[in-house]
Each structure stands twice: as C-alpha cells, then as structure tokens.
Amino acid sequence: MLLRHTPKEITERKALTVNPAKTCQPIGAMYASLGIHGCLPHSHGSQGCYAYHRSALTRHYKEPVMAASSSFTEGASVFGGQANLLQAIDNIFTVYEPDIIAIHTTCLSETIGDDITQILGKARAEGRVPEGKYAFHANTPSYVGSHVTGFANMTKAMVDCFATSNGHKSKRINLIPGWVEPSDMKEIKRIAGELGVDTIVFPDTENVLNGPQTGKFSMYPKGGVTIDELKDTGNSRGTIAMGRLASGPAALALDASCKVPCQILDLPIGLQATDRFVDALRKMAGVTVPDSLNLERGKMLDIITDMQAYFYHKKVALVGDPDQLEALTEFLVAINMMPIHVLTGTKDKAFEKRIKELTADLPHKVNVKSGGDMMLFHQWVKNDPVDLLIGNTYVKYIARDEDIPFIRHGFPILDRIGHSYFPTVGYQGGIRLLEKILEALMDRQDRDSSEIEFELVM
Amino acid sequence: MGGISILKEREKQIYQKGTQPFDMSCEKKSLAGSISQRACVFCGSRVVLYPIADALHLIHGPIGCASYTWDIRGALSSGPQLHRMSFSTDLQEQDIIFGGEKKLYNALVTLIDKYSPNAAFIYATCIVGIIGDDIDSVCRRVSKEKGIPVLPVHSEGFKGTKKDGYKAACDAMAKLVGTGPTEGISPLSLNIMGEFNIAGEAWTIREYYERMGLEVVSVFTGDGRVDNIKRSHGAALNVVQCSGSMMHLAETMNEKYGIPYKRVSYFGLEDMSKALYDVAEHFEGSPEVMEKAQVLVREEINAIYPTLKRYKEKLRGKKAAIYVGGAFKAFSMIKALKSLGMDVVLAGSQTGNSDDYKLLRNMCDDGTVIVDDANPLELSKYSIEKGVELFIGGVKERPIAYKLGIGFCDHNHERKLSLAGYSGMLNFAREVYSSVTSPVWQFAPARKSS
C-alpha cells in the first residue's frame, strides 16, 4: 500500500495539508500567459518557482514550456526586486524577442512588497519596453487561493491591461474557456464556428501546448490570442465565461470597464452544460443552431441511452478544480451515476453549496469539501468505497491502494499522453468521457468476473 | 536557426573547443530574465533528503513547494513509504502576517504523533526566510518533546542555487551522523553517498560491494534510513557519487571522524569498474577484496559485452548532446557514449565549476561546444548546427529534443530503468539505441530535409 500511512478514521487537521489537491497561483498564471501569442511568461521570484512550473507544465502537456525568471538572490530579497525585473525586461526583449511579457508575482516578491505597476512604469519611462511591445502583470501571491486563482488573475489582467472600447459594439463574442486543455479550447472554437459566430477566445493555448512536430524549436508557437484581439475584446457584443472561478473575474472586469455584458456559465462538460453554452451563444449572437450541432447532440444522447443501464447508481468519487467538478457532477447525476465524494483543494464556499444542490436528490450521503486535500479524499473513499475515481494523476495512488477503476481528468496528468489532443467539452468531448467511463467500469467487470460469469457480449 | 543572439554576459559561459582560448566562466548566478534550466536551493535540498524513507519531510511554506516535489523523483524504498507523502503547512495570508511558527509546531506534533518517524526534516521555503519564522527553535522544542531528531533545513529558495541546497541538506544530515552506535561494524565497510536509488540503482551498487565482502553501513540517501545515517560514522570509507550533492558531507565526515572519501561514478563500464577497483585498493590490507572485485568485473562485463557490441555497431559515429545538472555526471556519460562509438558534440551542465569544465574540455574532441547554465535557444541552436541525433537531459529538455526530431534519453529524475552499474549500462545502450533508431525520425521534418 503506497499510502499505507493514510488512516481510515478522519480527524480534523488545521495546521496541515497532506497530499495536496491544489498547487500555487503562479503556475496558473503561467498557463494562462502561454495562451497569448508571442508571449513569454515571467516569474518574478526565485529560480525554483518557474523551474517547477515549467517542469509541471512540460510533464502535463509534453511540450516545451518557455518562461523567464527574475532569479531572486538574497540581495533582491532584502532590497526589493526592482533591479532584477528591470534587467530581466532588458534581457528578455534583447535575446528572446517576445511581443509581450506577462509577469506574475510569487510569494517572495509579494511579501517583500514589490510594486510591479510602479516598476513597469519605470521600465516604460526608461524605454526598456520597445515600441510596439508590451509588458503587463498579475499579482499572484502563492499563499492566497490556488493555481485556479492564478489562472483567473492572469486572465483578468489581460482584460485590465488591454481591453479598450471604441464605443461601437461589433458582432464578435468573447469566449473565456477557463483552465481546460488546448484541445478543449479548440473544441469550443469549433462549436462557435458551427454556429457561425465570430469569436475572440482568450486565453487560447491551442497550437501552443499541443503543437505539431515541425523539426524546429519555436519559442513562440503558432497559437494564442493576439494583442489586437485582446484589445478588441472591449468592443465585443458580449462575453461568455466558462467556469465561475477561472473565467468569471475576467468577464466581470470586461463588463465593468468596457460595458461588455457577460454570462458566466459552467464549463461545457456534459449534455446540459453544453446545451447551456450553445444556447447562450445562440441568443447572444442572434443565430440559430445548425443541424450539424443538433446531430452531434443527438449522437451524444443516443450513446447515453445505450449506456445508461450500466451507469445506474454507480458510485463515483471525484477530485479536482471547482469549475470542472461542478460541471462533472451535474453530468454524472444526469447519467444516473452517484457522485458521492466531491473534493477540491481550492477554497470556495459557493462550490460546496452548488455540489450539494446538484446532488440533493441522490439516495446516498454525499461528502463535499472545498479547501480539502487528497488525504481526506482518500479517507472518504476508505469509509465509503466507490465504483469509479475521477481526478488528476495523484489519484492513482488511491486507485491502486483501494483497487478502484480510475479515469484521469484535470491537472496535472503526468503519466499519460494524449489528453491535450482530445477534448472533454462539448458534445464530442462528452462522448469521449462517456466512452472512458464505461470502459473503466467494464474492464473492471471483465477482470473481476469468474470464468463462469465471464461474458462475451456485455 | 543560426541567427539567435546570445546575451553578452553569457558569452563566456559558452565555449567551442579548438576555436578560442579556454576561459570559461561558471558558478555565476543566472541572469535575471534568462531562461535557465536551473532550479532553486529548496529543490536541491529536497531531492537529496527525500529518499530517506522513514523520516518525516515537512515543507514549511505555501502549498506550491510541496505540490511540485510530491514523489517526483522515483527514489525507491524497500520498506517505509512515508517519504512519498507530501506534507505542507500550506501557509495562508494570515500566517504571512502573523508568522507561521505556531502552525509549524502544531503540524509537526500532529505528524510525529501519527506516524512515529525516526527523524523529521523541516524545509524552510523562500517565504519563511522573509517573514522570519524561527524554525530552529520550533525544531528544538519539538525534538525535546518528542524525543526524535527534528532537523531544520535552511533551503530558502533565493539563498543561492541548487548547489547551496545540497549543502543545506548535508548540514542537516551531518547532525544525525555520529549519534548512533557503531558496534559490530566491519572494518571492511563503507557508506554509499550521492546515490538516490532511482529505479533501484542503489540496490545494484550495494550488491556489488557486498559481493566484494564489504559492509554497506548507510546509503546517502537512496532507500535511506535514519538509524543507518546515525551510525554511518562507523564506516571505514565514504564513496561519493554525484559529487555535487554529497561532497560537503563527505568532507565534514572526514574532518570530524577522519573518514577518507573517494569520488566515483557508477555509470558506464569504465567508470563502474574503476569505482570498484578504487574502493578495493583502499582496502589493500585485505587483498581478497580486490580479487573479488576482479572476478565481479569480469563476470559482469562478460555477461553484457556481446549485446553491448551489437548496439555499438549500430550506434557508431552517431552524434550526441549532453545537458545535465552536475558536471560530474557529464564526464561518465561522455565516456559511456564514446564506448558505444558515439561522438559527443555538445556538453553542458547547470552547476559545473571551473575545474569541471577544464576536465570536460580535455575529454572532448575539437569542435565540441561546452555550455554552462544554457537556455533552450542555445541548446537547440547547437543541437541543430552540430547534427545531434541523441540528446541526454532532463524533463525540460525532452520536448525540445523531440520537436527538433532528435532522440532522447532521460538521465535525471524521469529515467525509467536503472542506468547504474553493468546492467544499467546495458539498459542505457538499449534506451539510446531504441531512441536514436526509432522509425519515427524518418517522418521528422528536420531529418527529411537534411
């Protein structure tokens, strides 16, 4: 038992997190920054931070992840990081030639009190930011919130720094996809394309973190939202933010600063959430849903119908980020499964309320926790076993110890390849999720059935 | 691809053998704004100490530092698995304002009561150094109350490079050394240092020494145990691999206990055999050790040589690049690649010192590019210019090599097979061969055009 040190009885822990179900803000900011074309993320802190973030993102996406660091030393930590950041800006624009530097802070620079707005003002005044190039920042202290907060803060910073309004609203619609895979961002764009809606998607990591092999190493791959598009978000007719926590703040900021009305929806995972997304997009853009999309929806519904008998009241435990879990929980309930343990590492009261509402009618006790950790999740599973686990790679310890089927979903996935190429959003993504769920359950049935019971046709 | 600019300040950290006078600059702090492949002090301490499997490892700081280092290294334990858990004080804004000492105390007491570890290591992260938590006094207090060693590791990220983290880890372990009984330890004994048991490598090496009639008192730190470290000063010799991480402890033990040390490498046939012979020489008063070493080397090489030869025929003349953490590792790798008939055309490290680079230069052929603390642009530029067909590096280098259409072998945390010892050399040859000759490269755009 790898986690033999996890006791079954649950005791309250105040001072201690064991096996985290979250990580810190800066990595989320880095991932969001990579969704801007020609952008080099910059970590204003010591070297370890960005080395860890780059390694973690590389392990998940299997792509080169470029970022720079202020490389804090003891001197910088005593006298402030201004000199380091100014030198970094010089060096970055000279050698790596990005169009834009997206700076995020760290626990270190936040605690010593570096004022990035002031430092960037100085850099601009001194001509360190070349004509036509940009540097902007988000505050992402590691001791507040989680990686999701960091993603949200950087996405909001894109709005705060770039969105402008010329007083005329275009026909375009802003889509903020939240922290999802590059393949999910692609699928969201495809769905909008099917509806014939002109969109700006930000951040957009498609073709940045799921790129082709070209024979060249490119610092700035093809994908990403452009600065011009980011500026233009202020002129869009509306915004659809997917994910209350990851995308909500940016959408609200755009509404406040440029009067772009927004709708904050769930991530379009599962049938209902995708329906709501398509419907919101249709209404906002004043278009009709094309047959092609209805066809996709019909197929997903058909597959659920074929599968529902196998799903009936199967118990599921899921752990991950709040936006993902809310959508997933609704989906699981809709296909007649029972999500009975739902835990996120990110603190968020509304999350607990929402999950309780979604699972209110289940004929089973449901555990919900925000700000929890993997140890508590494991303890729940020990006390009330399930048929299926859904979560990131770290859940594999629990899956092995408790011998429970496991589907990888969320961030990070460190031990499989392919997740960044296939979506789980939209109807197509939903079909893929359904296939994964049923396959996990049936593989288990095949494995566990006796020779006598072993069936060819299931 | 040829046109990348190099930061002026970095010019002296890149050297091409045969073209310039050798005046390599290194051990510099990375420039702010450069995309270095380096990490921090905490990272250095964490990788060195974490394989000690029956100790508690508590990270005092915001959650990230614990999340990113949760069981990432694959350091195997034959017994306890406590080191594979991730414990953090998960500091919040309130703690930053009012201090985290109380939280640290409570976390420590809770954990020690729950798991009864044989020792506890408390890692200070950046923020702890800034808010001024006195972790030393918390550790002293808990140690007294609980009766186990509770050791602060001063690994604040900004206080230097990964190397300084190795030193902080050594300092913490030095406090354990010398506190256990040494009765019954054979005069023919040693400690294995700088071997982390990734993919079970320490087990291979331990078995070799035991076959030579030597007693292994403690491994630092692969499959490590607190009690073994406590009595490790009873060993007759310290054998140090990966010198960057453990030399400091070896030197401390030399000063304090008069234990001599030898630097070795277990990678490649040449260095592996040299390591065993060097150790045997140390015990020259017992000639049977050398005799057994000779038998062992002969047997092991005979067992793998025919297969190795087949790989060599296929790999002859292929070009390789090496970019690793410590320079010492690069030396062995160059020898091993040469023994496979390959040419090393690019070599570099994150943390080498000037002696390392001099040695590296002497080992390399003319035209070989040598880099210190390189960035991805530099690595890819020279890889393409030099026609590299195999890149050896760590997690951040792998996707770069693959994008270029170059074979890759991980010689760092993500190695999947043991690469140490004789069996390890065979694994290495197989991995190099499979990557370099993969049919996928025939479709790679870079290879097609060349």
Supply the range of the domain harboring residue B370.
8-24+316-415
- Chain B residues in contact with A20 by the CB 8 A cut-off are 63, 66-67, 70, 86, 88, 90
Inside any domain, residue B424: no
CATH architecture designation of domain A173-290: 3-Layer(aba) Sandwich (3.40)
User: If you count residue pairs, one on A and one on B, with CB atoms under 8 Å apart, how many are there?
Assistant: 254
Chain B: give the shortest CA distance to residue A401, in Å: 13
Q: What is the pLDDT of residues A170-217, one digit of tens each?
A: 999 999 999 999 999 999 999 999 999 999 999 999 999 999 998 889
- pLDDT for B72 beyond 70: yes
The pLDDT assigned to B184 comes to 96
Q: Is B392 left (phi over 0), alpha (psi -120 to 50) or beta?
A: beta
CATH superfamily assigned to domain A25-161: Nitrogenase molybdenum iron protein domain (3.40.50.1980)
Closest chain B residue to A5 measured between Cα atoms? B82
Domain residue ranges in chain A? 25-161, 173-290, 293-448
The pLDDT assigned to B7 comes to 66
Of A1, A88, A142, the CB nearest to B32: A88
Of A64, A71, A216, the CB nearest to B32: A71
Considering B265, B299, B333, which residue would you say is the last residue of a domain? B299
The pLDDT assigned to B356 comes to 82
Q: Is the dihedral of CA A444, A445, A446, A448 positive or negative?
A: positive
The pLDDT assigned to B450 comes to 47
The pLDDT assigned to B373 comes to 81
Q: Do A49 and B64 touch (CB under 8 A)?
A: yes
Q: Do A55 and B395 touch (CB under 8 A)?
A: yes
- pLDDT for B449 beyond 60: no
Q: Do B67 and A91 touch (CB under 8 A)?
A: no
**B375 and B279 belong to one structural domain:** no
Chain B: give the shortest CA distance to residue A443, in Å: 27
Domains A25-161 and A173-290 are alike in CATH topology: yes
Task: State the Cα–Cα distance between residues B123 and B142, nearest whole angstrom.
Answer: 15
Q: Do B1 and A20 touch (CB under 8 A)?
A: no
The pLDDT assigned to B262 comes to 96
Q: Give strand pairing partners of A370.
A: A344
**B273 and B336 belong to one structural domain:** no
* CATH number for domain A293-448, candidates 1.10.3470.10, 3.40.50.620, 3.40.50.1980, 3.40.50.10440: 3.40.50.1980
CATH of the domain at B382: 3.40.50.1980
For A429-433, what is the mean pLDDT? 98
Considering B167, B201, B236, which residue would you say is the last residue of a domain? B167
Selection from A59, A406, A68, A390 nearest residue B70 by Cα: A59
The pLDDT assigned to B1 comes to 35
The ipTM of this complex is: 0.95
Chain B: give the shortest CA distance to residue A435, in Å: 29
Higher local confidence (pLDDT), A216 or B291: B291
Q: Do B70 and A64 touch (CB under 8 A)?
A: no
Q: Are A374 and A398 in contact (CB under 8 A)?
A: yes
**B46 and B162 belong to one structural domain:** yes
Inside any domain, residue B281: yes
Higher local confidence (pLDDT), A118 or B30: A118
Closest chain A residue to B7 measured between Cα atoms? A95
**B373 and B402 belong to one structural domain:** yes
Task: State the Cα–Cα distance between residues A139 and A156, nearest whole angstrom.
Answer: 11
Q: How many domains, in total, are found in chain B?
A: 3
Q: Is A8 on the interface with B (CB under 8 A)?
A: no
Interacting residues of B295 by C-beta distance below 8 A, sequence separation 6+ = none
**B58 and B160 belong to one structural domain:** yes
**B239 and B356 belong to one structural domain:** no
For B347-364, what is the mean pLDDT? 83
The pLDDT assigned to B375 comes to 84
The pLDDT assigned to B447 comes to 65
Of B32, B86, B159, the CB nearest to A91: B32
